Amino acid sequence: MVKIGIRPTIDGREKGIRESLEEQTMRMAKSAAKLISENVYDEEGNPVGCVIADTTIGGFAEAAKCQEKFDREGVCATLTVTPCWCYGSETMDMDPKTPKAIWGLNATERPGAVYLAAVLAAHAQKGIPAFSIYGHDVQDADDDAITDDVAEKILRFARAAVAVGEMKGKSYLSVGNVAMGIAGSMVNPDFFEEYLGMRCEYKDMSEIIRRVENEIYDKEEFERALVWTRENCKENDDLYNGENGHSREKKDAEWEYCVKMAMIVRDMMQGNEKLKEIGWNEEGNGNNAIAAGFQGQRQWTDFMPNGDFMESMLCSSFDWNGIRKPLVVATENDCLNGVAMLLGHLVTNTAAVFSDVRTYWSPEAVKRVTGKELTGYAQNGIIHLINSGAAALDASGEQEKDGKPAMKPFWEITEGEAQKCLDATKWTPGNLGYFRGGGFSSTFKTRGGMPVTMCRMNLVKGLGPVLQIAEGYTVELPDDMNKILWDRTDPGWPCTWFAPVLTGEGAFTDVYSVMANWGANHGASVYGHVGADLITLASMLRIPVNMHNVSEEKLFRPAAWNAFGTQDRESADYRACRNYGPLYK
């Protein structure tokens, strides 16, 4: 379980000053811990634990004892809190590998703000970035309330820090290699190790065949999964192949293989104690993978069932075992989009959706083709997010919050909502032109009105990783308009219409500009407008953001970023990330 350490720092002068501040300082620490534990959850749905130092920290010795405790507890980030002046470099957190923030109380009775400024200067001078948390309005010294603006920053820091902690020490499992020359599937271990604290594991796709042929899977679970799949995954008409489609007997065999693929790739990621019980100890250990990718095309799909069912079901928040944590599995082994999926998933705890950023439809083009005009969120044009049936079924939008379409953390999803997602999805036999080995693609239309954030990680030679972010809304078109546009691309794949929020400037001048500035053919989408959380997370990892539509007042990066320029925040972000370098290098 990831934990955040709370460091209550204090003025070390005894015989009156320190004693008068002890109770208030520890109250601040406990209030911050309560706020985090009640509002931030880890990937498994557990409230994030907070570890508070045993004593207030007035100098080197107590700082060292606090660090020893945090090391034992496995703390992934620290929040220092104080209402007063403290000795900056003597009380600061000096661990360069953990994200850190400092909350200095804005109250006039004691100079907490003065300590905040002094210790941030020490952090900058020593090359250890820290986030600054300072309330907008002056509070009374005995006011224990955490103001809304302070709470927002504490929680944004905590969500991003927990994501950093959850990735550290985990792996990306590459099943196969490069799909059809897609650069994103050229898995670069230096990027994962230096920026994310992860390692890369590589397995040939033949491992799936070996496990099927040697029956290295839970047979009881397979029988149960197959019955569930037949009852809940309704096969669509063969939209592509006509008389040349596979026989009923062959399709039934493909269904069985697709279910086994889903179980096997999950086991390869996480391990499975059942495999150990039947004598496959090594396979039962898994690969400690927090994310994975499957090459598929073409060396697999030219003769085997495609990975669409496996990818869709693993990325969804439910399967034959019930409602559970969604996994992150990238289509075509696009590990860079897999990382974008992972970052989005970790800050939202919702399923991440893989798609092609396929087509920009201008209002003029839509009217020419359909005879109708786009309205509402879609009035300025839309982007078609669609790929070969490998999207999480959560993206159907059949879950709800306050009566509106949503994608929710798995612990909030009801059985009825999971069933609605399944009922809204059909499984179309694969286009044998693309997928000679058959298989089945999920087919659904995303409900409109959901706030979503699309993001993408790119690697640029000489620069390194950069993150792109676009907040927007899903759009639901009238059925006749939807059919005309959907059919022009691929009627058997999941269909999401996306309308980015426009700023009128730069990459968000208009919808065409968003499409034109996107860095690759894939994107990852999660529920909610969480661009600000992703920007905070990227700064922790020292990854610059080259495109976003998040308002200036929501940007929250380490205080030292200000030293690299305050007029052009995007350029300053680049300079700061280059200066500090990857978090784990």
Phi, psi of 507 (to 5 degrees): -70, -10
Catalytic position from the list 42, 93, 218, 356: 356
Q: Which residue carries 């022009």 as its tokens? A: 488
- Cα separation of 93 and 386, whole Å? 46
Token readout for 178 is 């490069």
Q: How far is CA 49 from its chain centroid?
A: 20
| Residue 332 marked ligand-binding | yes
Ramachandran quadrant class, 504 (left: phi over 0; alpha: psi -120 to 50; beta: rest): left
- Cα separation of 225 and 320, whole Å? 5
3-class secondary-structure state, position 96 = coil
CA atoms within 13 A of residue 390's CA, in its CB half-sphere: 31
User: Is 137 among the catalytic positions?
Assistant: no
Strands (E), 338-417: 353-361, 382-385, 399-401, 404-406
**CA-to-CA separations, 301 to 182, 209, 264, 376, 487, in angstroms, rounded:** 16, 13, 17, 40, 23
Are 338 and 330 within 8 A, CB to CB?
yes
| Residue 356 marked ligand-binding | yes
- Cα separation of 125 and 118, whole Å? 11
**CA-to-CA separations, 406 to 142, 377, 454, 470, in angstroms, rounded:** 41, 17, 15, 18
What does the H/E/C string look like for 227-238?
HHHHHHCEECCC
CA angle, residues 286, 329, 438, in degrees to nearest 5: 105
Say which amino acid occupies 446.
T
Q: Which residue carries 């092609």 as its tokens? A: 356
Helix segments in 503-561, DSSP class H: 511-517, 531-541
Q: Which residue carries 């320029």 as its tokens? A: 565
Are 342 and 492 within 8 A, CB to CB?
no
3-class secondary-structure state, position 110 = coil
- Cα separation of 381 and 365, whole Å? 9
CA angle, residues 205, 211, 215, in degrees to nearest 5: 160
| Residue 522 marked ligand-binding | yes
Catalytic position from the list 42, 311, 332, 334: 332
User: Is 302 among the catalytic positions?
Assistant: no
Annotated binding-site residue numbers for Mn(2+)? 332, 356, 522
The annotated binding site is made up of: 332, 356, 522
Active site residues: 332, 356
